[in-house]
Amino acid sequence: MKKIVEKDWDYSKNAEFYKYRPNYSPKAIKMLAEYVEVKDREDFSVADIGAGTGNLTVLLLNEGFKKITAVEPSDEMRRIGEDLTKNRPVWWIKGTATDTSLCDQYDWVTFGSSFNVVDRCLALAETYRILKDDGYFTCLWNHRNLLCPIQKLAEEIIKSSVPEYDRGVRREDQRPFLEKEAQQFKNICYVEVDFNVQKTIDEYIFAWKSVKKSFQGPRVRGRKKRFLKDRKPNSKRIAGKVWNPVHDPCMDNAKEIGVGER
């Protein structure tokens, strides 16, 4: 497992600040839980890939799912997640999106803010391998509302300090990629839910410390805090975005993206 965590995406040093990130919209998770048409959520198996400190895992537990396997490469992130979900029906294992080490097959595979930090083609191939026929794959993110004045200013501060800054794969529309690379899936469903999260100034800054990019450095955080210090706690408006295709057993093109025979 020596190379299991890529240097550029090792969040171990950021793990303690993940609790300050806004979690996903419970409404969006409830909509997804209804979409996957679960008759018995206690017997419906979920693999949460790149589970981090358990943010999405907890929401799935709250929806009644009781057969969850959380896959996370970072020891520190996984330790926090294990503590957060102690005495609840979650099994935590060390693995990556492209090598989960899972042998069982699952009804639902989820990626909460993790699909953008992996080789998406290889991750889809591994997802296809561990999914049951007619199973579901979901990738989701929270996006800051960049029309909000505070968020607009945060962007300006970042860009002035980090000229090469871009928002990366997580801000892209995933549909073109899924349609091109995931021929073995069908019925792509897109869900977007706007919601507000109340944060104090310190909580807002600590949330930025969970980011694994050069623009989360002390100088940038200091400039944000100087702007925010005289303001009241702000309401952070977020768009939760979800893509949710279904595994189609009749579209067995897995070999085209490197999956062996099922």
- pLDDT the model gives residue 38: 78
Tokens of 230: 């005289």
Distances (CA, A) of 65 to 32, 107, 123, 221: 12, 11, 23, 38
Q: What is the pLDDT along the chain (262 residues), one digit of tens a residue?
A: 444 444 456 778 888 998 999 999 999 999 999 998 777 777 899 999 999 999 999 999 999 999 999 999 999 999 999 999 999 999 999 999 999 999 989 999 999 999 999 999 999 999 999 999 989 999 999 988 888 888 888 888 888 888 888 888 988 999 899 888 777 788 888 888 888 888 888 888 888 888 865 445 555 555 555 555 544 444 445 555 666 666 544 333 222 222 222 2
Residue 181 token pair: 């690379």
Q: Output the pLDDT for position 44.
A: 93
The upper half-sphere exposure of residue 203, i.e. CA atoms within 13 Å in the direction of its Cβ, equals 13
pLDDT at 145: 86
- Residue 92 has a pLDDT of 98
Residue whose C-alpha is closest to residue 185's, from 100, 118, 120, 112: 120
pLDDT score of 74: 94
Homologous superfamily (CATH) for 7-144+168-194+237-257:
Vaccinia Virus protein VP39 (3.40.50.150)
Distances (CA, A) of 229 to 24, 40, 43, 201, 217: 27, 49, 49, 7, 18
Q: Distance (Å, rounded) from C-alpha 198 to C-alpha 63? A: 23
pLDDT in the model for residue 239? 55
Instruction: For 73-100, give the DSSP string.
Output: S-HHHHHHHHHHTTTSSEEEE---SS--
CA distance 163 to 9: 21
List beta partners, residue 67: 45
Buried b (16+ CB within 10 A) or exposed e, 191-213: bebebebebebebbbbbbbbbee
Dump strand ranges (E) for 37-164: 45-49, 67-71, 90-93, 106-112, 131-144
CA distances from 241 to 93, 112, 129 (A): 26, 10, 25
